[in-house]
Amino acid sequence: MVKKTSTKEITKAPEFTFFNDIKTGDKYSDAGIEHETYGCVDSGSYALNALLSGDIFGGFPLNRFVMVAGEQGSGKSYLGKNCFCKPLLDEGYFIFYIETEGETDEKSLISEFGFPEGQFRLLRVSTVEDCLIEINRILVALEADKGKEFKNKRKCAIVLDSQGNLSTKKIFTDAVKGELKADMTKAKILKGMYSLITLRATDLGVPMYVTNHIYFDPGAMFSDPKKIAGGEGGKYNCSIILNCSKTYEKTKDKEILGVLLKFGVFKSRITREKWSVPIYLNYKKGINKYYGLHTFALDANLIAEYSSKLFPDVIVPVDSEGKKVKSKMYVIKDPKLESKDWIVCLEGQIHRKDTIGTILDEINLYVKDTYKLKSPTRINYNDTDAEDITEPPEDVAEEAVIVSELREEIENSISNE
């Protein structure tokens, strides 16, 4: 009688030694060295940290590219100087600041933004080709200095302000000849630049911050007409792309006290896309670190508008005469405290350390659970919790096809002419 063999006896762990012993030419792989995770640097705003890393105690990733695109005067450069560069300088990083718009000089970086003298270099370039050459020189020097070591001992970062204002050698040559023609080379050269520098900068632990312009596309019938300039190179290689806009905070006399900056996620490999947070910048005091947390706290039911019926036990603030304040107030529903000990504050006082700052950990749990990307393999998606998926209306889909066909016909007729 033939002995029956169990499945467990037949199935053995595969032998991978042969593959692991193959010399690939990649020194990290051949040596069995894992690439280092560099972490994040605090941007100075809890809400912006959440947007960038899915963690209010996180921030800008230290070996990734981040692009911020927006209209003129929307806070792109300020964010780069104050929230990206300044924290890195405090951590001992050297900054290569590539400037293309003629708006930044060494004195302003030192006096207005606190850049330590000797800890940064301002590079002025006007073409994509020159920008690529400068960045490549920086990376070549770091690679030579690192030699055969696995870790780069130098800490530096790169800022490109802005990509949207870069020209090309072709435009310069055409201008000299007096033959101004449409330039179709910029997007290709930018794509080549990102292809050349992205992986190398990542391996060296060199973060890069890029500001960019947006333009209006009148032909965008079924998508956002505001497009990010510069082709696809930056879109594919930047790990995070934010879009930004701003509104002003004014007094009754229309004096401008500061600006409300709104940042949204256009693309992210770390967090969900298509969500946004507000950040408050006061011209005298700088960025309010706690502003924007209220949006998460409201969604998580960690704060609520005060009502005597809903919160009869809490202590309500009083004015100088001992009377209850009649202005709009909020209750900080701290789960660590009994309801009678919850903090009640005026609407304008909610963005403080002693109010919303008392529930940072609770807010962060909600942010991580709601906005940080999770591996699909870790999600238990079964028939019991599957959601209904609605297809787009047929007429909309058909209309989109018609528009696409019309565009193709127009392009063909133009090329034939």
Number of domains in the chain: 2
Same domain, 317 and 230: no
Task: Output the pLDDT for position 361.
Answer: 97
Q: Is residue 358 part of a domain?
A: yes
- What amino acid occupies position 131? C
The Cα 91–Cα 207 span in angstroms is 13
- What amino acid occupies position 5? T
Q: Is residue 391 part of a domain?
A: no
Same domain, 356 and 247: no
End of a domain among 237, 272, 289?
Answer: 289
Same domain, 166 and 303: no
Same domain, 242 and 141: yes
Give tens-digit pLDDT for 346-396: 998 999 999 999 999 999 999 999 999 986 655 565 655 556 666 666 555
Same domain, 87 and 155: yes
Element (H, E) at 199: helix 186-204
Q: Is residue 397 part of a domain?
A: no
End of a domain among 244, 267, 289?
Answer: 289
- pLDDT at residue 243 greater than cutoff 80: yes
Same domain, 360 and 313: yes
Same domain, 43 and 188: yes
Task: Output the pLDDT for position 388.
Answer: 66
Q: Is residue 398 part of a domain?
A: no
Q: Is residue 308 part of a domain?
A: yes
Which of these ranges, 146-160, 311-325, 357-371, has the smallest mean pLDDT?
Answer: 311-325
Task: Output the pLDDT for position 276.
Answer: 94
User: How large is the C-alpha radius of gyration of the chain?
Assistant: 27
Same domain, 323 and 204: no
Task: Output the pLDDT for position 298.
Answer: 96
The band of 34, judged by pLDDT with boundaries at 50, 70 and 90, is confident
Higher-scoring residue by pLDDT: 141, 374: 141
Which residue, among 173, 167, 181, 98, has the nearest Cα to 129 in the 3D structure?
167
What's phi and psi for 231, nearest 5 deg?
Answer: 80, -160
Same domain, 224 and 262: yes
Token match 């919850």: residue?
342
The band of 282, judged by pLDDT with boundaries at 50, 70 and 90, is confident
Task: Output the pLDDT for position 349.
Answer: 93
Q: Is residue 77 part of a domain?
A: yes
Q: Is residue 8 part of a domain?
A: no
Same domain, 89 and 212: yes
Q: Is residue 402 part of a domain?
A: no
CATH number of the domain enclosing 231: 3.40.50.300
Same domain, 189 and 110: yes
The band of 220, judged by pLDDT with boundaries at 50, 70 and 90, is very low
Task: Output the pLDDT for position 214.
Answer: 78
Neighbours of 99 (CB within 10 A): 19
Percent composition of the chain: helix, strand, coil (DSSP 3-state, to 5): 35, 20, 40
Domain containing 351 equals 297-374
End of a domain among 242, 266, 289?
Answer: 289
Answer whether 156's CB lies under 8 Å from 120's CB. Answer: no
The Cα 261–Cα 291 span in angstroms is 11
First to last CA, the chain: 84
Same domain, 331 and 258: no
What is the total residue count of the chain?
A: 417
Question: Mean per-residue pLDDT for 305-334?
Answer: 85
The Cα 243–Cα 236 span in angstroms is 16
The Cα 386–Cα 56 span in angstroms is 30
